[in-house]
Amino acid sequence: MPQINRLYLAVMPLVHLDTGFTEQTLTLFPSQEFATFFTPEEVDTYLDFFKRRAESYLKGGNVTSYEFAKEPVVGTGFVRVVVTQHVE
């Protein structure tokens, strides 16, 4: 039976304790509480990058497809990214 997961894009900073190496990663959370608020000027850069990677490397197995949408965060001027994951 097909299922839909509503997920939210987040930019996560990572600092490695052993080396101090610092990087940013993109991930998905099932709660909008953890979504990154993007400015309208920057959202497309993050969205397009994640979309390309998800379509290339995160489909397969039970995951059949993704849909991506920008959602205004009311009263803030920011945008969050909603990712709909289709699973069978």
Q: Which sequence spans correspond to the domains of the chain?
A: 3-87
Residue ranges for the chain with pLDDT beneath 50? none
Q: Look at residue 48 in the predicted model and tell me its pLDDT.
A: 97
Give yes or no for a contact between 11 and 87, defined as CB atoms under 8 angstroms apart. no
Tens digit of each residue's pLDDT (9 = 90 or more) over 38-62: 999 999 999 999 999 999 999 999 9
Contact indicator for 14, 53 with CB cutoff of 8 Å: no
CA distance 75 to 24: 27
